């Protein structure tokens, strides 16, 4: 253990390699955390090496905006039987087709309730459902109301195209109707039918929020219950309604937002419950603890934002190439980004937080992430570049922000005062003139000091001026640059961070190092 002398004592280092590599931990932000956690990870993602990296921005892909420039509330990729694909969107009580020059394909479809459509690909058709509206349908042209050849089509809030049928909740949110085999127009003939969920909910009444296919089962998400349906025969279609039965139920948790449900590549389903983001796979494994969720480290912080949202407006995107599940909270102007490439030792996903006005989005088959934003109507953009846009479409910057937890330099030094002398580190940035503010704070006071680093291009020295120390230590490295700033102050616990304006510049935080002298024992 170092001699606690203060002056004359050796500098004690703490090295943060890939600082914040476990992502946000707001649940324990007021306590001491290891350097693997962040208490702020703002406008960031994780790159393939685990570094905190600037997220991308929004770039319009529309050259001829929709007439009237309505806000785009829903984006969907319609896949036809011949594998051709079209982006379908809902905006201004109309249905639109295409991205660069969206075409009004509302046709004769009745659209009176709004734009909260859930679009379903089924055989060669694209089917839209929303609460209180007649289902609508397109087979490549304009949409029309579904006119049932027999029976009555349901008008509920959610649906599923799977197992050779279309399954749609009815207006009572208790009945699920299913179509005839391979016929989305047959709602009363042979093979069509309905399920009365009022006789199924295990703990009294619930309501149908979402329907999904999972591992050969149909999953009905209530608000507080999850019900699994299988059949007795293991039919070629996967589920035969003539022999299906309730194979399992989970009580105490459910789904509160239809469009939060996403199937991810490992066969799992992620969804938003009243307890946060949950993994269906994990929930089945942890049946004794239904409140277990993959957002456990940000649970209360996340739910504070969720509680401000209309559940009908919450959206989500799963993008396997980018390695994330995005939960979009448009009223709060927040997106929570869950890194699905890597589970932490506690079974949760790494999380970062974005400040952005994303309204809706979808990942297409070619792995393009299409997005709409609330302040630019009539346009669809892509997750690309490193700028956001103002209401006029002009490029604007956004801040990448990382803040560590409260650090104590390990068990041998935890009880001593630390006199901070220097902060240095390594970042990836290849943009000349890019600046970074380095911050530090002591003992839960939330009154940080800061210094500014100005980076040169690779191989050049950065600026030296009053309050700035950004001297390059080496050139090369393909954008790797080092920095060193003098620091001051003292305390038992220290917290550090960086703030970087992002404007068409990439940035990754690779390593930070603190050097402090060790003083007396803290009181």
pLDDT digits (tens, 9 = 90+) for 258-284: 999 999 987 899 999 999 999 999 888
The yes-or-no verdict on residue 238 having pLDDT over 90 is no
- pLDDT per residue as tens digits for the range 427-449: 998 777 789 999 999 999 999 99
State the DSSP H helix or E strand holding residue 299, giving kind and residue range, or none if neither: helix 299-306
Q: Give residue 10's region: left, alpha or beta (phi > 0; psi -120 to 50).
A: beta
Reference 430, options 478, 359, 369; nearest CA is 478
The yes-or-no verdict on residue 464 having pLDDT over 50 is no
pLDDT (0 to 100) of residue 290: 64
Q: Is the pTM of this model over 0.85?
A: yes
Strands 358-363 and 369-373: what pairing?
Answer: antiparallel
- Ranges 11-25, 275-289, 330-344, 485-499: which has the least confidence: 275-289
pLDDT (0 to 100) of residue 3: 43
The yes-or-no verdict on residue 43 having pLDDT over 50 is yes
> What distance in Å separates the CA atoms of residue 169 and residue 166, rounded to the nearest whole number?
10
pLDDT (0 to 100) of residue 466: 32
- Ranges 229-238, 247-256, 276-285, 352-361: which has the least confidence: 229-238
pLDDT (0 to 100) of residue 409: 80
Q: What is the mean pLDDT of residues 145-160?
A: 96
Q: What is the band of 460 on the pLDDT scale with cuts at 50, 70, 90?
A: very low
Q: What is the mean pLDDT of residues 3-31?
A: 80
The yes-or-no verdict on residue 465 having pLDDT over 90 is no
The yes-or-no verdict on residue 382 having pLDDT over 70 is yes
pLDDT (0 to 100) of residue 470: 37
pLDDT (0 to 100) of residue 467: 35
**Does 333 or 203 have the greater pLDDT score?**
333
pLDDT (0 to 100) of residue 1: 38
Reference 442, options 471, 413, 407; nearest CA is 407
Please, what is the average pLDDT of the chain? Answer: 91
pLDDT (0 to 100) of residue 288: 62
**CA distance between the termini of the chain:** 19
* Domain 11-56+401-521 belongs in CATH node 2.60.120: yes
DSSP 259: G
The yes-or-no verdict on residue 239 having pLDDT over 60 is yes
Cα–chain center distance at 249: 27
Query: Domain-by-domain residue ranges, the chain?
Result: 11-56+401-521
pLDDT (0 to 100) of residue 372: 98
pLDDT (0 to 100) of residue 457: 58
Reference 402, options 14, 28, 27, 36; nearest CA is 36
Q: Which residues of 466-477 are buried (b: 16+ CB within 10 A; e: fewer)?
A: eeebbbbeeeee
Contacts of residue 55, Cβ cutoff 8 Å, sequence gap at least 6 = 43, 44, 45, 337, 352, 354, 400
One-character DSSP codes across 153-203: ----S-EEEETTEEEEE-TTSSEEEEPBTTBTTEESSTT-EEEEGGGT-TT
Reference 239, options 207, 255, 261, 215; nearest CA is 215
Q: What is the mean pLDDT of residues 3-26?
A: 77
> What distance in Å separates the CA atoms of residue 438 and residue 454, rounded to the nearest whole number?
11
Cα–chain center distance at 417: 39
Reference 404, options 17, 35, 32, 47; nearest CA is 35
Burial class (CB in 10 A: 0-12, 13-18, 19+), 362: buried
The yes-or-no verdict on residue 333 having pLDDT over 50 is yes
Asked if 202 and 249 count as a contact pair (C-beta separation under 8 A), the reply is yes
């Amino acid at each position: 253990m170092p001699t606690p002398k203060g002056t004359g004592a050796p500098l004690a280092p703490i090295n943060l390699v890939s600082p914040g590599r476990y992502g946000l931990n707001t649940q324990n932000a007021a306590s001491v955390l290891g350097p693997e956690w962040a208490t702020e990870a703002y406008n960031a993602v994780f790159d393939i090496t685990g570094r905190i990296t600037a997220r991308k921005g929004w770039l319009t892909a529309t050259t001829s905006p929709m007439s009237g420039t309505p806000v785009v509330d829903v984006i969907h990729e319609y896949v036809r039987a011949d594998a051709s694909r079209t982006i379908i969107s809902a905006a201004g009580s109309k249905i639109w087709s295409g991205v660069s020059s969206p075409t009004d394909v509302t046709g004769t479809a009745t659209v009176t309730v709004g734009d909260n459509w859930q679009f379903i690909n089924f055989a060669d058709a694209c089917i839209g459902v929303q609460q209180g509206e007649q289902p609508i349908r397109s087979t490549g042209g304009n949409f029309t109301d579904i006119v049932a050849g027999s029976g009555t089509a349901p008008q509920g809030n959610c649906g599923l195209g799977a197992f050779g049928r279309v399954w749609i909740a009815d207006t009572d949110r208790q009945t699920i109707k299913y179509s005839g085999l391979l016929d989305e127009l047959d709602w009363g003939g042979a093979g069509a039918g309905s399920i009365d969920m009022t006789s199924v909910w295990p703990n009294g009444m619930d309501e149908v929020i979402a329907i999904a296919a999972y591992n050969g089962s149909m999953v009905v998400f209530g608000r507080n219950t999850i019900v699994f349906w299988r059949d007795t025969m293991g039919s070629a279609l996967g589920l035969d309604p003539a022999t299906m039965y309730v194979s399992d139920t989970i009580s105490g948790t459910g789904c509160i937002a239809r469009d939060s449900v996403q199937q991810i590549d490992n066969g799992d389903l992620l969804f938003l419950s009243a307890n946060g983001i949950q993994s269906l796979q994990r929930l089945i494994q942890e049946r004794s603890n239904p409140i277990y969720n993959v957002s456990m480290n940000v649970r209360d912080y996340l739910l504070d934002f969720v509680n401000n949202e209309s559940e009908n407006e919450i959206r989500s995107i799963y993008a396997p190439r980018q390695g994330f599940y995005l939960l979009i909270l448009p009223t709060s102007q927040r997106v929570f980004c869950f890194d699905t490439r890597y589970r932490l030792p506690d079974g949760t996903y790494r999380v970062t937080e974005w400040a952005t006005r994303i309204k809706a989005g979808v990942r297409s088959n070619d792995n393009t992430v299409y997005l709409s934003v609330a302040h630019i109507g009539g346009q669809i953009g892509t997750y690309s570049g490193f700028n956001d846009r103002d209401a006029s479409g002009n490029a604007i910057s956004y801040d990448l922000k990382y803040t560590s937890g409260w650090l104590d330099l390990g068990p041998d030094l935890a009880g001593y005062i630390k006199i901070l002398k220097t902060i240095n580190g390594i970042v990836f940035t290849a943009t000349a003139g890019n600046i970074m503010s380095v911050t530090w704070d002591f003992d839960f006071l939330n009154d940080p000091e800061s210094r500014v680093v100005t980076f040169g291009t690779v191989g050049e020295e950065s600026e030296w001026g009053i309050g700035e120390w950004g001297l390059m230590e080496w050139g090369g490295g393909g954008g790797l640059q080092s920095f060193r700033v003098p620091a001051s102050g003292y305390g038992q616990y220290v917290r550090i961070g960086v703030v970087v304006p992002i404007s068409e510049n990439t940035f990754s935080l690779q390593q930070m190092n603190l050097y402090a002298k060790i003083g007396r024992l803290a009181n």
